[in-house]
Structures are given as C-alpha cells and as structure tokens.
Structure 1
Amino acid sequence: MEYFVKFHVCHLFLLLSTLYVSAFADSSCTLTGNSIDNLENIKSSCKNIIVDDLLVPAGLTLDFTGISDVNIEFRGNTSFEFKIWKGPLILISGNNVNVSGAEDSVIDGNGPKWWDTLGDKGITKPRLFKLRYLTNANVTNLSFLNSPRHCFAIHNCTNITINNVVINDKSGDTQGGKNTDGFNVKGSENVYITNVHVFNQDDCLAVRSGNNIHFSNGHCYKGHGLSIGSIGNRTNNVVQNVYISNSQLVESDIGVRIKTVWNCTGLVTGIHYDNITLIGIKKYGIIFHGNYGKLPSPNAPLTDGIPIKDITLNNIQGTVVTAGTNIYVNIAEGVGSDWDWRNVNITGGEKKRSCHGIPKDSNAFCA
C-alpha cells in the first residue's frame, strides 16, 4: 500500500510539472510600465506577448529580434522617452510572427520631441517601427502616431502581409515634421500591404529595392506620393515586380513617382500602377526623374545607368492644382523602354515642362 501511494504521488507530481511547463510555454506575458528589463526573459519563455501601456526608456529599442512562432499584441498606449539617436524604437526579426493591435491601441512615436523642420539634416532621429530579416509574418490593426522619422520600415524581409494600418503624422504639418516616410521597403520579397491610411510629410510608399511588392487600397494624405525609389547609392539597387493599385492620394506634393539617382547603376522593371486617384496634387501628378539627389533638378545631368522598363500605368485619374504640373518625365534618352500607359488623365496643372526620355515606341506622354 505504501509503494502504491508513493508511486501515485510521484506520478501526480510529474504530471502537474508537465502541465505547468506546458501552460507556462503557452501563456501570455505582459510588458507594461516604464521598464523593458524583463523583455529577454519574456522572449525566451512566452509565445503570446502583450505590450500594454508601456513607456520605453530613452535610447532603448523594444527589441523583438530572433523570435519564432510568436504573437505580439499592442494594447493601450506604447510610447518612448526622448533621446537623440538613430533607433529604431521597435525592431522585429525572426520567423512565423503575428503582430496586432487591440482596439483603440496606439504606438506613439512622440515625434514633436524630435521634429525640427530639418528631417534627416537636423538632429539624429529614430525610425519608429522596423521589420528586419523577418519571414512569414502578419501585421494587422496597428495605429501609429507622430513618427520621429520614417515610420514603418520593411528591410530584408520575405513573405510579409500588412493589413489595416494607420500612420498619423498630421501634427508634423505644423510642428516641424519632415522625412516621415510611411512604408519604406528595401531588399524584401513577397510583401503585401493593404487597407492603409497614411498622413505624413514624405513618401506614402517608397520601394527602394525588392521583388514582388504589392500595395493596394491605400489612402495617402499630404506627403510625397507612391514612389519607386530613390534608386541608387545602395548595396541593392534593383526594384522589380511592384504592383500598386486601387489607391487614392489627396493634397500630396506628388502622386505617382519613379526617382533614380544621378551617376548610379541599378534597374527598375515590372512596375504597375493601376486604378490610382489623385485629388488636388500640389506639384506633380506623375513624375519620372533621373537626377534625384544632390544636384538640382531639372538642369542636372541624367543617369543612364538605371534602366526603367516594363512600366504600366492604367486608369490614373485626377487633378493637380493650377501651379503644378500634370505629367513630367525627365530621364536620359534610351533608359526607358516597354512603357504602356492607358486611361491616364491628369488635369488642372498649368505649369508645363519640357520632357525628356519618353520611349519613342510607347503611348506615354507629357502634359
């Protein structure tokens, strides 16, 4: 009888221990308050991480690197103390990661603490949210406020889906925001961005390099438009197979844009803009320019080292303010090829410019 009791007590202990370890491994862990000292322990022990009303100390990154099979949920207000440094404020890498935001949650970059009207030329400012070397990830229902600099960076990532994201840097219009790019893609493949709202002072989307990039149902306010580039002066200067569709730009400086850097090499190919609406664009409805960078446009030399080929524009409609230009192409002769523009109708701009480099066998035009 004594043996029987001892056996079952030991068996019960082992069973409870197993259940405890299993429950701990699958449990939710919460980061809150004004410290991230416990972050490494949470990363190593939890598959469901909740960031709830967290204030990240100055000069520290909310660092979710090297994680796999993890869910991260932002709740309440996530904010950051001020320090002059390059950041990023949040960094995520790994494999099989889901990132989401609870209803009414906000990731507040506290941009006014850094904004100085000078952007990249002023004090050093951190990126707000960066995905780097991340594969197989879903990012949904996030709301960003007041990015110090670029908001959402996607660098060297594969198989990324982003849905229902708001970037609100509207305060930067009056408080000195600059270079507050919305989505910045570099060296990434199979990226899908959909159902997003961006109010900022720079590109709504900037694809600097990568392959098979999709952007759809975007709503861009103010800013510098839906851009390919700038291309040049980086390790990877190839952009291919980009699909931008069913999107609207309101009161942006620029609508549709391809920008390559003078005296550089690279490739832009397989770019598709489809069903884009422009409303009250201030400077250029459509602009392709091959001298982006240090030298002043439009009189600077044009790069002949970055072909711009297989460019499709379909159903690009809208208006430019009177002082703006509807369509402007300024690239080196022979750089462009295989352009197909259909149902392109941009009106309102009365500032006409002399265009260069439109492929002679294309239906593209200057206006």
Structure 2
Amino acid sequence: MKNNLIIQSVKSYLSATKINREGSAIKEKIVLIESDDWGAIRTPSLEALNRFQKKGLDIGNSIYKADALESQDDLELLFDVLSKYKDRDGLNAKMTANAIMANPDFEKIKNSNFTEFHYKRFTETFKEYPKHANNLEIWKQGQNQGIFQPQLHGREHLNYKRWLKVLQSNNEAAHFCFNLGATYSGNKDYSFMEAYDWDTPEDIAEQKIVIQDAITIFKETFGYFSKSFIAPCYNWDPLIEYVLQDNGVDWIQGMKSQLAPTGIFDCYLPIKHNFGDTNAKGLKYNIRNCFFEPSSAPDRDWVDSCLVQISSAFLWNKPAVICSHRINYIGFIDEKNRDRGLRDLNNLLKKIVQKWPEVKFISTDELDQFLL
C-alpha cells in the first residue's frame, strides 16, 4: 500500500510538472479551486436513479449517478468547510463556482414534439426541486462571505441540437430519461454534455447567440459580468472567444489542451495553452494543474496527490489551480458521496494552510493582480 502511494505521488508530481514548466509566472503562492456544473441538472432524484438502474441503463452505474442539482444542505455543509480555513490575510478558502445559467423546459420541448428547444433559468429550476428554493440566496451569502464566487460555465451544459435530434428519432433510452426530467442518453457518453462541440461549422453562429444569452442572464442574476469562462467538457471553437472578450471575460479556464471541434464527436483538434498565454485580442488562459475529484475514484488518496501537484505549481511559480467538480460535494442523491468529498476537502485545506501558511486563496476573476 505504501509503495502504491509513493508511485501515485511521483506520477502526480511529474504530470503537474509537465503543465507547470512553461507559461507566465506569479509572485505569490496562490490556490484557486475551480468547480464546474453549479446550477445544472443531472440525476433528478433517488427515485429516478432507481428507475435508471432497474431499466439497466449505463448511467445508473456511472459516476454521474450521485450528481444532482445542489440542495440547500449541500451548499451549507460545503460553506461550513470553506469558512474554517483562512489564508495569510485572514480570508476564507474560496471556490470559483462555475455556473450554468439554464436547464431544459421539458414540458415546452415535449409540446413542440421535440422540434424546438426551450429553457428555464437555473433560478427557476431551483424552485422546482424539493430542497433548493433558497439556493440563490445562499449562493449570494457565500459570495458575500468570500467563499463562493460564481463565474460563467455557459447557458446549458447540453448540446441541445444533438439531444433533440435523438429525441426526434424516438430513441427509447433518451425518452425514458427525458420523461424523468434528465438529459442523459442512457449511455456513458458525453455527446449531449458538450454544449459547444459542433457537428457542422454553421453551428458556431448559434453557439455565439447562446453564449451572449448566458452572459446576459449572468449579469441580470449577479449584477456583474463574469471575468472568466469555462466551456463544458473543455470543448469549444476559438471563434466563440470573441463573444466572451466583447463582454468582459478576461480569462478562459481550462486544461493544458483545448479540445477544438472537428465535426466528429470525440475527435478533436488539441490546441495547447500555457498559463497566462493570450489569444490575438488579449484574452488569457488559466490552466488547471491540480486535480481533486474524490467521486471519480473513491479508492484514490486525492489529498496526497493534490498536495504533490500544489508543490509542483509553487516550485515553478504557478498558481495551484485545483479542478474539483460539483459532484464531489453533492449529497442530494447519496449523502455518503457528499460526506466523502467534504471530509477530503477539509483534510486538503487543513494541510495546505499548515504546509504553506503564506498561501493566498483567490477566485479566478482575481488572477490579474498576481501576474508578474
């Protein structure tokens, strides 16, 4: 067991170092937690999950089975952990909450015979779930406490054109999920989740309209423009970046490689980015170099591997950008999933402030002030 942990640590350090060797430098030890999918629907309820499993759908046994729209309990318990730890300036640990602005309006879509896409704002979705009505107020309380900073993840976490096409074909599994209020295909693929993948280049024009709409909803909801953006599944065409830049976005969050569409699902053109690289108009790229995803592999020591990756980031004068999706903190479907994620997050933050008392916790929209 000890040898396995050492091997895991070495692999984690080397993988992080490959990311950190190039790119801009920062002047301080900074930790960012970038967390995707807040506000998006996934598994609607435990009852729905049981029906997926009884039907024998792949999704019933995937990692997403425990993912769901965050409940009030989920948010409050997460905030309790974040507020326990403070940086060198006495500020709380902070999460960049990358938010989805809308979810499908299932009734209107069905009434159109699956020929038209309609959506509801995520704040309306909150009101339709049993333990979620006060979520927006709680989000804003977290923001005021400096522990939960919403940023833009898109309008839907859904490639709705693909979804509608499959529904129009009377696909049994997709309709089964639809009737339970979910956008799953029934399989373990990501084809419906990749909101800004395209099947033909003509789709880009519509994607720009969708992103502009998302930007408007974000501004109307929170009272400010998001300064950063993360594309669902790290998949987007460079042409959509101009809409982001024209609306106040300074940073694109992502991995080392941007997955540019080619017109074929799951076949992408990788575009390499380093931390602080800029595009032709000056928009900057923030690269995730640390990973903390307890729900994806429960047997892994995520605390140790993430600490090793943070060490590499600081050695190379990079921010420690921790990728940690919402699913890790959700107990609406399975409280054990949330308990594991929060326990590990608590241990991670405790060890960060012990090992690096000079650390600074920030959100992605604050990065500019720390560049050299």
User: Structure 2-normalised TM-score?
Assistant: 0.28
User: Structure 1-normalised TM-score?
Assistant: 0.28
